[in-house]
Structure 1
Amino acid sequence: MAQRILIVGSCAAGKSTLGAALATRLALPLVHLDQHYWRPGWIEPSTEDWRAQVAGLVAEPRWVMDGNYGGTLDIRLPRADRIVLLDQPRRLTLYRAVRRRVLRNRVDELYGSPERITWPFLKWIWDYPARGRRILLEAIAEYAPGTEFVRLRGPDEVTAWLAAQPESGEGLARKTAGTRRSSR
């Protein structure tokens, strides 16, 4: 079973949602990179600080990590033993990004940095299939050519793939304990 799973894809593709579900199912620690990157008020860390922080995160023996951050792919890809690309339709990711902002319902809530929608952000989402995906696939070929690679091209594929993942004993125990609590 994979112990270090990296989930990548366009913004609002469902990386954090899948990451949370997969981490629970496999009983692996969850790392939402957005929570580590953004400082309150959308302040970015220095490149050196960010790379050092990511190096520390990937040094852990077990994790499910979600996020893009192309400037650290050279650190993250070689450590992953499975890479999952959420290659969702761009209209779906645009819709989800706007909905997430309107409903304020991020799975990986960014405290002190409320969700915002800007034209450059929407353009980045729209351009992801042509630019971001290409850069990611090139980085995988360079830094992790032999790593297990899963490409999920729609919500139904994501659901089916997640359901096919084996549940660890610990993940099953968490799920069962949660069911018991809710049935009282």
Structure 2
Amino acid sequence: MSDFPPLADLGRRIMIMGPTNAGKSTLAVALAQRLGVPAFHVDRFRHLPGTDWQQRPTAEFHALHDAAILEPEWVMDGNYSEVLPQRIARATGIIVVDDNLLRRYWRYFRRTTNGARAGALDGNRDSIKWEMIHWLWHTRHASERSRQKARETGLPLVFTHDQRELDALYAAWGLSRPGSRSRL
């Protein structure tokens, strides 16, 4: 796909879904900067800052997520099916990104060993984990599920299937890859 709708068609509350390490957080920051709205990363609601991805209590996770979606404008990346229905109810558009498994593994190792990145937890104590390596393999075909969920919403949609299409999306919408972190 290289014929993208105008960015304005997606409104001012845009969800970004897709598998782990497909480029969701970086795209969220780029879109938020372009639109002048906050970028939220659902991973940062789910996990405690200053940890190596230790989960928050579920009630606290839900409260942070639900408070963020009540904001008038946002770009929010992440999946988490347990909070997806209320995010969809507030969203005005959805983007589903994907990439091949090899590139997603490469991104995981690069981002984990490289330090600062979009969507990282405050304190950035990330380490390579067998659970994440397994998760990447386990979810290697999950993007079709995300595309199906997105189609069912009736919201304006954009799908990218690989890095080439994601690069085309950045170009079509005049986005630049961010070098700084976004807020919670």
Report if TM-score (shorter chain) is over 0.5: yes
Query: 2:118 and 2:70 mapped to 1: Cα distance?
Result: 24
Instruction: Give the 5 Å matches for 1:93-132.
Output: 93-130=104-141, 132=142
Alignment of 1:149 with 2:135, yes or no, is: no
* Identity value in percent: 32
Alignment of 1:70 with 2:78, yes or no, is: no
Q: For 1:70, what is the secondary structure of its paired residue?
A: coil
Cα shift at 1:122: 0.9
Cα shift at 1:18: 0.8
Contact 2:44/2:121 (CA < 8 Å) preserved in 1? yes
Alignment match, 2:12: 3
Question: Structure 1 length normalisation: TM-score?
Answer: 0.79
Alignment match, 2:170: 162
Alignment of 1:133 with 2:110, yes or no, is: no
Cα shift at 1:141: 5.0
Query: 2:119 and 2:78 mapped to 1: Cα distance?
Result: 11
Alignment match, 2:30: 21
**Greater fraction of residues in helix:** 1
Query: 2:38 and 2:165 mapped to 1: Cα distance?
Result: 24
Gap change, CA 1:163 and 1:32, over 3 Å in 2:
same
- Structure 1 stretches lacking a partner, 5+ long: 168-184
Q: Deviations over 1:48-69 (max 9, x none)?
A: 2222221111111110111122
What one-letter code is carried by the residue in structure 1 that aligns with 2:95? Answer: V
Q: For 1:71, what is the secondary structure of its paired residue?
A: coil
Moved over 6 A (4+): none
Count how many residue pairs are aligned between Structure 1 and Structure 2.
164
Instruction: Give the 5 Å matches for 1:33-72.
Output: 33-39=42-48, 40-41=50-51, 42-72=53-83
Question: Structure 2 length normalisation: TM-score?
Answer: 0.79
Mark the structure with the bigger radius of gyration.
1
Contact 1:5/1:82 (CA < 8 Å) preserved in 2? yes
Q: CA RMSD in A?
A: 2.0
Query: 2:81 and 2:62 mapped to 1: Cα distance?
Result: 11
Contact 2:111/2:117 (CA < 8 Å) preserved in 1? yes
Gap change, CA 1:115 and 1:159, over 3 Å in 2:
same
Query: 2:155 and 2:140 mapped to 1: Cα distance?
Result: 22
- Structure 2 stretches lacking a partner, 5+ long: 1-7, 176-184
- Could you tell which deviates more after superposition, 9-18 or 101-110? 101-110
What one-letter code is carried by the residue in structure 2 that aligns with 1:6? Answer: M
Query: 2:124 and 2:115 mapped to 1: Cα distance?
Result: 11
Q: For 1:64, what is the secondary structure of its paired residue?
A: strand
